[in-house]
Amino acid sequence: MDVFADPDNRQLLLTGFAWILKLTGASAVISLLVGVLLAAMRVSPVPVLRWFGAGWVNVFRNTPLTLVIYFCYFGLFSTLGLDLADDLDLNTYWLGVIGLSTYTAAFVCEAIRSGINTVPTGQAEAARAIGLTFLQTLWLVVLPQAGRAVVAPLGSVLIALTKNATIVGTIGLAEAANAMKTLINNNGDEVITIFLVFAGVFVALLVPTGYLFNWLSNRLAARR
């Protein structure tokens, strides 16, 4: 463990995971909001909105995240001049958040849409029968019930998002994967220790998250 006796190397590890957590946090919030909105569009009575939702999902679910992130940096920033922060790292961070959120929103949308399908049709029919509009039916009756079924899939999306945050390293942010690469290149004799520490942090973060979401999902599951 000599590598991590050096405070500089410890700092590299900490900043790496700090970026991962910040990327995950911001992207999780934004992609959840956008994803719910997209899911609402996909089940709405207005065809234009359904097409837009379906188009978003098809485009971003089938494009590799690496390309999306690449496009955010070289397209939005370098070519179109979208400058989000004066600080170089902060700018890269926000470009990464845009890429991750756009991509993840497509998966959130599909998870929520399949959750909506688990709500018995009688619920929506009853809601319509008492005169609720589409938005009221969705917001007051269907979505709250779909929420229970959606916990486990959204948990998987969150775990995938955390792992995907490493891809923002492509555009130069010193997140965990890049930090590991730097450490490996400087300490060729302790490769295994370095990998196990970095991988271990991910395992320690994500395996409990997985169990937590499974537990939550079982607790919230509706008996039908």
Partner 1 sequence: MSSVLYDHPGPRARVRNSALTVVFGVALAGLFWWLYREFDNAGQWAPALWKPFLDADTWNNFILPGLWGTLSAAATGMVLALAFGIIFAVARLSERRWIGIPAGAIIEFCRAVPLLLMIFFLFYGLPFLIDGPVSAYWAVVIGLTLYNGSVLAEAFRSGIRSLPAGQSEAAYAIGLNKAQVMRHILVPQAARAMLPVIISQLVVLLKDTALGYIIAYPELIQLGVNVLSANYVNVMAAAIVIAAIYIVINSTLTGLAHWLDRRLMRTGQPSVTGKVATEPAGD
CB closer to partner 1, 51 vs 87: 51
- Count of residues near partner 1 by CB under 8 A: 78
Q: Which of 30, 32, 36, 138 binds partner 1 (CB under 8 A)?
A: 138
CB closer to partner 1, 16 vs 87: 16
How far is residue 38's CA from residue 45's CA, in Å, rounded to a whole number? 13
Cβ 79 to partner 1 shortest distance, Å? 5
> Under 8 Å CB-to-CB from 176, ≥6 apart: which residues?
13, 16, 17, 19, 20, 166, 169, 198, 201, 202
**For residues 68-127, which are near partner 1 according to CB under 8 A?**
70-71, 74-75, 78-81, 103-104, 106-107, 110-111, 114, 116-117, 119, 121, 124-125
How far is residue 22's CA from residue 108's CA, in Å, rounded to a whole number? 19
C-alpha torsion sign, points 168, 172, 173, 176: positive
- 38 touching partner 1, by CB under 8 A: no
CA distances to 17, 34, 55, 180, 200 from 3, rounded to whole Å, are 17, 42, 48, 11, 15
Tokens read off for 74: 């070289």
**For residues 6-35, which are near partner 1 according to CB under 8 A?**
none
**For residues 165-184, which are near partner 1 according to CB under 8 A?**
166-167, 169-170, 176-177, 180-181, 184
How far is residue 38's CA from residue 113's CA, in Å, rounded to a whole number? 9
- 2 touching partner 1, by CB under 8 A: no
CB closer to partner 1, 60 vs 94: 60
- 1 touching partner 1, by CB under 8 A: no
Q: Say which amino acid occupies 48.
A: V
Cβ 139 to partner 1 shortest distance, Å? 11
Segment interacting with partner 1 (CB under 8 A) among 1-9, 21-29, 91-99, 137-145: 137-145
